[in-house]
Amino acid sequence: MRVLVGGWSLLTGLGLSRFGRLRFEPAEEARFIQDGKAARQTHFLISGVFSLVAFNLFLLSDWMMVPDRFDLALRLRLLVYTPVAVFFLAVSWRFRDFALQLPAAVTEWVAMLGGIFAALCLVAVLMVTDSPYAVMYRGGLLPILVFGTLVMRFRFQLAVVFCISLVALHLLTVFASQGAPTPFPELEVPMFLLLVVVAFYTLAMNFRTEAEERLRFQRKERSAALRRELQASQARLETLSRQDALTGVPNRRRFDEVAWQCWQRHMQTGEQLAVMLLDVDHFKAFNDHHGHPAGDQCLKLVAKALQDTLADGDGTLARWGGEEFIVLLPHTDEVVAHRVADRLVQSVRAMQLRHEASPTREVVTISAGVALGRPSMDGRDLSAMVALADRALYQAKHEGRDRLVMDRTPKPA
């Protein structure tokens, strides 16, 4: 009873709708079958070898209980069943990869039919024997039943078919032997009940075993899904930690990482690079006049315009802080740096975003300061170049804004 109650709890825990119908939704069922396919094939092969040995050991029972048909039992076990079983086991082992490509149902049905074939060998002897022990010889169906449902662990639905088949074969031999003399007629009913009860209990255990296997699979899938979700969350957090929350462009931390890598490469190649500092003109006045939500939207639009202008791979844009942005331009010279900076200034002006509080223009504009350097020769570090770009930006502000200024500081000797 505890097995049945536990099995029902597992069934409801799996979310399966029909009693005894151990099956997931189609997609999940396919994953479950595929997940256990190789392991079940190995299990069938190993169990099949042991079952073949055990099956032939019962020749001792044949010799003691049906001596009049021992020759038939010997031929059936050694010359019929054994060669067929060895053939299927050898083919499954030799062509293991091919067998794994077959539908799982093929392997399951072959294993189950192998069990029924073994039972038919016993039935063939029972149909022709005159042994007084025939009623007890039918008990040979019991180890076949137990082996199929609990050792081979046929899928529950096939296990039901298997048990019904063995019970039917048992009844067939009983009806076929009606009228035959036997010293133990009172054993017919108990032997039949024993087979039925053992079938019932082993099916209950088979059901519980498969339900637990399916539950473990669900837990494994959920754990895998949680791991994937966690990894995705970590990736998102990693991205967010390097991305400005307001504008969506890289933040200062990400810029420092990219700039350091770029600086190291240029130290080796000897090429020039440029650092540009960009500042939104009269941004405080814009905030005061239009409000902070409008100011946030202004920064988003400016960032997008700058990003779109650099979309062809000119350089790396990041938010430096407040209304300031920074651009790192690798592998460049003064002409290219000037052209890129000019395009950036024009791209913001071209948005025609109204700035009613600006004494410079009626639209939002930016000023840019540009510094160039050759890491392998100038003796400057990145922070020194940023300081030079900041000084050039200050000069652009002083000269009237909405413009760019190139740093002209003499290079160290």
Residues involved in catalysis: 323
What is the Cβ-side half-sphere exposure of residue 44, based on CA atoms within 13 angstroms? Answer: 30
- AA identity, residue 195: L
- Residue 406, H or E segment: strand 404-406
Judge whether 211 and 14 are in contact, CB under 8 Å.
yes
Q: Tell me the two tokens of residue 85.
A: 């079983």
Distance CA(19)–CA(16), nearest Å, equals: 8
CA–CA gap between residue 238 and residue 228 (Å, rounded): 15
Q: What's phi and psi for 394, nearest 5 deg?
A: -60, -40
Token pair recorded at residue 383:
């922070």
Task: Tell me whether strands 366-373 and 316-321 are parallel, antiparallel or unpaired.
Answer: unpaired
How many Cβ atoms are within 10 Å of 295's Cβ, its own excluded?
A: 18
Q: Which residue reads 């804004």 in tokens?
A: 401
Structure tokens at 287: 């905030």
Burial of 102 (0-12, 13-18, 19+ CB in 10 A): middle
Largest CA distance in the chain: 124
201 phi/psi in degrees, rounded to 5 = -70, -40
Q: What is the DSSP string of 272-285?
A: -EEEEEEEETTHHH
